[in-house]
Structure 1
Amino acid sequence: MSTNSKSSKTTASNKSKDGKAHKLSLKGSAKLVSEFFEYSINSILFQRGVYPAEDFMPVKKYGLNMLVTNDDQVKAYIRKIMSQLSKWMLGGKISKLVVVITSKETGENLERWQFDVQLLGKAATAAKSKIKTEKEIQEEIQSLFRQITASVTFLPMLDGRCSFNVLVYADGDAEVPMEWGDSDAKEIVDGEKVTLRSWGTSSHKVDTLVSYRLAE
C-alpha cells in the first residue's frame, strides 16, 4: 500500500431533506464526495478479492448493504488518506482519485479505477434549473455501486496475491504531507477501458472509469 499525490483540481459541500430539493452546500458536497471515495475503496478491495472476505464487515450505507475492511492496518491506511483528502476537497484542490491493483509477484498493474471529480462553477450550477434531491443523489450513487459489484462479470479474475495503491491528483499549490510522494500515473499498458455511471451534486460531478489488463 502507498499514497501518492499528483497535480490537478476539485472542491465540495452539503444539506437536504426528505424528498425536498435543497441545494447542497459546497462544504456538504465535498464531504459527500470524500465519503463516497472511502466506500468506493472498500468496495473495490472486497469485490476484487484483494483481501479475504472475512476481513470485511457489513454496514448499511446509501440504502445498500456495503462491506468495509475490518483489518486494522488497512483501516489506518484508508483513514490517513481520507483525512488528507477531505482537507483538499474542502479547499477545491482535488481533480482525481485513482485506486490501482498491482500483482505482488510481478509488480504489474492489473486494474486502475479512476474517479474524476469536476467542481461545477457558478455558471454551470445556475444553468441547472432543477436541484437534485438527496434521494436522487443517493439513487445515482446506488447505481454506481451496483455497477462496481457487477464488475466481476466482465473483469478478468485476479490471480495470485495483490496489493493496492491510492493516487490523489491535487493542485500544484496543495500542501502535501511529508510522508506522501510523487508517483507515475500507473496506467494499464494496452488495457481495456470501461466507463461506469456518473453521479453528482449541484457542486460536483464524479465520473468513473475502470481500466484493466486482459487475461493472457
Structure 2
Amino acid sequence: MATAQAQANTRTHLTLKGSTALVHEFFTYSVQSILYQRNIYPSDDFKTVKKYDEPCAFQILAYTNKNAQAPKEWTDSDPRLIQQGQAEQVRLRSFSTHVHTVEGMVAYRREQDDD
C-alpha cells in the first residue's frame, strides 16, 4: 500500500517516452491541428489525416433556460473578429483532471444600444 501511494505522489508532471521521431511527429501534428482549428492559415493548406485515435477538438454543449430569448435559428459560422469594446464574455466552470485543467469561456458580440 505504501508503494502505491509513493508511486502516486511521484506523478507530478507529464513525461514523453519514445523515439525522437515519434515525439517530433506528435508535436508537429499537435501544432498543425491548432493552426487548422484556429483558422490561422486557409484550410486548403492542410491535409486531413487521422492520428492517435484521439480527438484534438471538442464541442461544448450549452443547456439554457427555455424562457431565455434567443434567435430561432442558430447557425455555425467561420471565425469572426469582434471589435474591442463590443464583446462580452462568460466564463464557464473549470475542472481539473490529474493531467490537465480545463477552463471554458464563451465570447460573443454585445448588441448595439439604440441610445
Same fold (TM over 0.5): no
Give the TM bin, normalised by the shorter chain. Answer: 0.3 to 0.5
Q: Tell me: higher relative CO, structure 1 or 2? Use CA pairs within 8 A at least 6 residues apart.
A: 1
- Larger proportion of strand: 1
Over alpha carbons, which structure has the higher Rg? 2
Q: Normalising to structure 2: TM-score of the pair?
A: 0.39
